Structure 1
């Protein structure tokens, strides 16, 4: 069993990091890979999945986040890809709160989560989360009304956020919130990273 991966981010894609560990590149699927920078030293707590057709490595910044990922996998109908999408779209504390207060409406906004899956999340995990001492945190579902249409590099940022599971309204808000306001040019990759950081602070 792989407990953690420690190394340097060689590069990142839409849903994973390539982590250089002493010259060996590991593909590690993580929530919001754009919050990491190329060349950054990372230590990710791992969850290793072995299937007949693949071996997949998932990584998380904290043990707590990994433990929540593993709890999500205990729910019928929730696989690693769906669990990762949930943690990409909402901070762990926000997801836990939605489950604890039985907020099915919020849960169904998550990618791939229908009403039945949302109800199973509540039924299967509400008591477990309470026993494990998870505290409720603020929900991160922005209520900001969408602003005017965005163009140019902003569209690239929005499209990247959409690919990560955010909806159009959230993506537009994050792009506007993280836009450089002093006139200095900012690369798309840096902009995406700042937009994701803005979403996490929401």
Structure 2
């Protein structure tokens, strides 16, 4: 079993990287190959899938994403490609939180996940992912929580929403409307960059 790969990115493909490890090129499937730079050193936690007709490496920057990926593979009807697509859209910690809260709506919004699969994920994994939620990750700010839900309802990517959380929470707000307006302004600024 190959537990991790550390080496230099040599080739970037649409769904994978070829990483040079001591002169051997390992193809590792990742959620977003284009965030990596050719010629840079990388360290990826890997899941080594061995089948009768193939061996595939799936890579993750964060160990928690690797752990959530493994848990998702144990859900009936969820394969490696679907689990990778989920992690490409939403960080592992947020998937853990959605499962714990029974947030079928968020899970259904992920690629390849329909109502039946979303319900199956909650049924199989609820209560099993609590250890992946850091105490500070459990939302205690109701204004932020409602703002986040409003942004998700407007179709914003959970990763992008999470990226503005710290900046939003540095200020005081009268309520959800004020925070939401500021959040939308920040989102607009990010699109312009």
Using structure 2 for the length normalisation, give the TM-score.
0.71
Specify whether residues 6 and 101 from structure 1 end up closer, same or farther in structure 2 by C-alpha distance, changes over 3 A only: same
Identify the residue that residue 177 of structure 1 maps to in structure 2: 190
Identify the residue that residue 96 of structure 2 maps to in structure 1: 96
Count of residues paired in the alignment: 153
Output the CA distance in 2 between the equivalents of 1:25 and 1:51.
Answer: 20
Specify whether residues 145 and 67 from structure 1 end up closer, same or farther in structure 2 by C-alpha distance, changes over 3 A only: closer
Identify the residue that residue 9 of structure 1 maps to in structure 2: 9
Contact 1:94 1:137 in 2 (8 A): no
Specify whether residues 126 and 9 from structure 1 end up closer, same or farther in structure 2 by C-alpha distance, changes over 3 A only: same
Q: Which structure 2 residue ranges, 5 or more long, are not aligned?
A: 140-147, 157-186
Output the CA distance in 2 between the equivalents of 1:18 and 1:128.
Answer: 33
Q: Greater relative contact order (Cα 8 A, min sep 6): structure 1 or 2?
A: 1
Specify whether residues 69 and 133 from structure 1 end up closer, same or farther in structure 2 by C-alpha distance, changes over 3 A only: closer
Q: Which structure 1 residue ranges, 5 or more long, are not aligned?
A: 147-173, 181-202
Specify whether residues 37 and 80 from structure 1 end up closer, same or farther in structure 2 by C-alpha distance, changes over 3 A only: same
Contact 2:96 2:132 in 1 (8 A): no
Q: Deviations over 1:21-78 (max 9, x none)?
A: 1221111011211111111101111110011221100111122211111011110111
Output the CA distance in 2 between the equivalents of 1:102 and 1:28.
Answer: 32
C-alpha displacement of 1:142: 4.4
Q: Pairwise mapping of residues 121-160 of structure 1 onto structure 2 (< 5 A)?
A: 121-130=121-130, 132-135=131-134, 136=137, 142=152
Specify whether residues 98 and 63 from structure 1 end up closer, same or farther in structure 2 by C-alpha distance, changes over 3 A only: same
Q: Determine helix, strand or coil for the equivalent of 2:127.
A: helix
Q: CA RMSD in A?
A: 2.5
More helix by share: 2
